[in-house]
């Protein structure tokens, strides 16, 4: 039985529906990601789980209990805010100890647990600093520690890394994942960065306009997008409409055909292999370890990625080539 289940969740603000028919279930100890473009309702769902917004309809259950209308204080769900939301009048120790104080723990226990978690998030030496005396990454770790120390049943993180620079992001990303594994915490992580989602999560929920577009293990969502939206959002998929697909490949489909750029093989123009397409190189871009070509084939421009092994690998613009695409690498999407 799943630990957290959400059934038919709806949320309406005034007259526009922000979340509709949202369903999900996650297991204890799982790390899942909500991935989606800005404004698709990620924060709203998170806030409903935490209890800051009341759903218009639907149900949220944790461990079998219906918590849809429980007050946030009683839910035992930890939240890390995008803007940190550290209390400016308290230093690091006081901020982290606040939740324990609210639970009426005694002083010695608070001190012990706070010290423990401070070590866990590597903030030793900063105990008496106030939020305005910390860097962005340090503040975010205080926010994380503050949510962790009360041992929440579920931890919610709303784009916790988006305000940080790339290097600290990567670092904290690993740190968060590491702590989550060690504590076995059920965690929902919100992001609109697909790389972040791919590297961190057990499972990804791709969201679009208030509903789940696709859910699945990270590599599945990446390699087998179910819809055009997911294909566009997850990678640089080539997307062919039904007419182009028919003309180029002789296949009849509904919707779109999605082909990843690295799954198209480039052969030289005299290749005798069957089932290949003629193409002309229109443009190339050097992207470090790969070269990205724009290849025109029968009036359709395809993106093709090739490994950049030696300097002689680069094919000049205008080169005639043949393209081979395996059936297995073509995905029909809605």
Ligand X SMILES: Nc1ncnc2c1ncn2[C@@H]1O[C@H](COP(=O)(O)OP(=O)(O)OP(=O)(O)O)[C@@H](O)[C@H]1O
Query: Site residues (CB under 6 A) for ligand X?
Result: 13, 18, 36, 38-44, 192
What is the spatial distance between Cα 131 and Cα 294, in angstroms, rounded to a whole number?
49
The option from Mg ion, other proteins, ligand X, none interacting with 40 (CB < 5 to 8 A, set by class) reads ligand X
98 binds other proteins (CB under 8 A): yes
The option from ligand X, Mg ion, other proteins, none interacting with 41 (CB < 5 to 8 A, set by class) reads ligand X
What is the spatial distance between Cα 168 and Cα 164, in angstroms, rounded to a whole number?
6
Q: How far is the CB of 211 from ligand X (least distance, A)?
A: 12
Encoded one letter per residue, x for contact with other proteins by CB under 8 A and - for no contact, window 16-55 reads ----------------------------------xxx---
- 73, 254, 272, 289: which one binds other proteins (CB under 8 A): 73
Encoded one letter per residue, x for contact with Mg ion by CB under 5 A and - for no contact, window 120-159 reads ----------------------------------------
33 binds Mg ion (CB under 5 A): no
Q: How far is the CB of 297 from other proteins (least distance, A)?
A: 48
43 binds Mg ion (CB under 5 A): yes
DSSP state, residue 269: T
Each residue of 75-107: b (16+ CB within 10 Å) or e? bebbbbbbebebeeebbbbbbbbbbbeeeebee
Nearest to 291 by CA among 258, 320, 262, 326: 262
- Of the two residues 73 and 254, which places its CB atom closer to other proteins in the complex? 73
What is the spatial distance between Cα 161 and Cα 137, in angstroms, rounded to a whole number?
8
Sign for the CA dihedral angle at 316, 320, 325, 329 comes to positive
Q: How far is the CB of 90 from other proteins (least distance, A)?
A: 8
Q: How far is the CB of 24 from Mg ion (least distance, A)?
A: 17
What is the full DSSP assignment across 141-173? HHHHHHHHTT--SEEEEESTTTTS-HHHHHHHH
Listed in order, strand segments (DSSP E) in the chain are 4-13, 16-26, 31-35, 57-62, 65-66, 77-80, 154-158, 186-191, 203-208, 211-217, 238-240, 256-259, 264-268, 276-287, 290-297, 300-307, 320-325, 330-333
289 binds other proteins (CB under 8 A): no
The one segment of 13-21, 40-48, 109-117, 258-266 that binds Mg ion by CB under 5 A: 40-48
75 binds other proteins (CB under 8 A): yes
Largest CA distance in the chain: 80
For the packed helices 136-148 and 92-102, what is the interaxial angle rounded to 10 degrees?
20
Nearest to 264 by CA among 228, 240, 229: 240
- 48, 60, 62, 79: which one binds other proteins (CB under 8 A): 79
The one segment of 87-95, 107-115, 159-167, 216-224 that binds other proteins by CB under 8 A: 87-95
User: Which positions lie near Mg ion, rule CB under 5 A?
Assistant: 43
Q: Which residues bind other proteins (CB under 8 A)?
A: 50-52, 71-79, 81, 83-90, 98-99, 101-103, 130-132, 146-147, 150
């Amino acid at each position: 039985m799943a630990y957290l289940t959400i059934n038919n969740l709806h949320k309406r603000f005034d007259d526009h529906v922000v979340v509709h028919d949202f369903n999900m279930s996650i297991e204890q100890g799982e790390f899942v990601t909500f991935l989606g473009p800005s404004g698709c309702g990620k924060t709203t769902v998170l806030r409903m789980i935490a209890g800051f917004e009341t759903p218009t309809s639907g149900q949220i259950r944790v461990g079998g209990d219906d918590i849809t209308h429980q007050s946030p204080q009683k839910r035992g769900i930890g939240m890390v805010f995008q803007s940190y939301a550290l209390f400016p009048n308290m230093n690091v120790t006081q901020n982290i100890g606040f939740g324990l104080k609210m639970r009426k723990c005694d002083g010695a226990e608070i001190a012990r647990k706070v010290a423990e978690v401070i070590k866990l998030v590597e903030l030793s030496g900063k105990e008496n600093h106030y939020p305005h005396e910390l860097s962005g990454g340090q503040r975010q770790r205080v926010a994380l520690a503050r949510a962790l120390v009360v041992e929440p049943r579920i931890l919610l993180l709303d784009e916790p890394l988006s305000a940080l620079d790339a290097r600290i992001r990567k670092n904290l990303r690993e740190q968060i994942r590491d702590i989550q594994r060690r504590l076995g915490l059920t965690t929902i992580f919100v992001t609109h960065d697909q790389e972040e989602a791919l590297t961190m999560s057990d499972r990804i929920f791709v969201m679009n306009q208030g509903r789940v577009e696709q859910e699945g293990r990270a590599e599945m969502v990446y390699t087998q997008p179910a819809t055009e939206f997911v294909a566009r959002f997850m990678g640089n998929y080539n997307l062919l409409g039904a007419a182009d697909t028919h003309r180029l490949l002789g296949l009849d489909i509904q919707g779109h055909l999605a082909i990843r750029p690295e799954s198209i093989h480039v052969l030289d123009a005299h290749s005798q292999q069957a089932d290949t397409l003629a193409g002309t190189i229109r443009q190339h871009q050097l992207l470090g370890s790969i070269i990205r070509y724009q290849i025109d084939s029968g009036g359709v421009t395809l993106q093709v990625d090739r490994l950049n092994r030696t300097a002689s690998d680069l094919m000049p613009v205008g080169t005639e080539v043949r393209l081979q695409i395996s059936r297995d690498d073509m995905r029909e999407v809605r």
